[in-house]
Amino acid sequence: MPIYQFKCNKCQYDFEKYEKLADSDLPTRLPCPGCQELECVDKVIGSPAIVSGVNFHSKVPNHFRDRMKDIKKMNPGSTIDV
């Protein structure tokens, strides 16, 4: 099951949940775990994580690697490894 990130618009509580793809928006319809208010939780869209391994970089096309470098420059706290 994928991990989804959520954040409350009222109390700023952020949390992660393992949810089936079909239930990925379920926490947005439930009370916030922090303040217990309804209709205040949104799904957070994060940047993708790429895990490198042995010979990983040799298999990545140059245009993709260049794009990942651009993304890393725009997001200094990113975990992208290029």
- The matching CATH number, chosen from 2.30.30, 3.40.1350, 2.20.28, 3.90.550, for 3-44 is 2.20.28
Give pLDDT tens digits for 30-56: 999 999 999 999 999 865 555 555 555
pLDDT band for 13, please (50, 70, 90 cuts). Answer: very high
Residue 9 has pLDDT above 90, yes or no: yes
Token duo for residue 12: 């700023």
Residue type, 81: D
pLDDT band at 58 (very low <50, low <70, confident <90, very high): low
Q: What is the 3-state secondary structure (H, E, C) of 46-75?
A: CCCCCCCCCCHHHHCCHHHHHHHHHHHHHC
Helix (H, G, I), strand (E, B) or coil at 25: coil
Question: What residue type is 6 in one-letter code?
Answer: F
Q: Between 72 and 48, whose confidence is greater?
A: 72
pLDDT at 6 over 90: yes
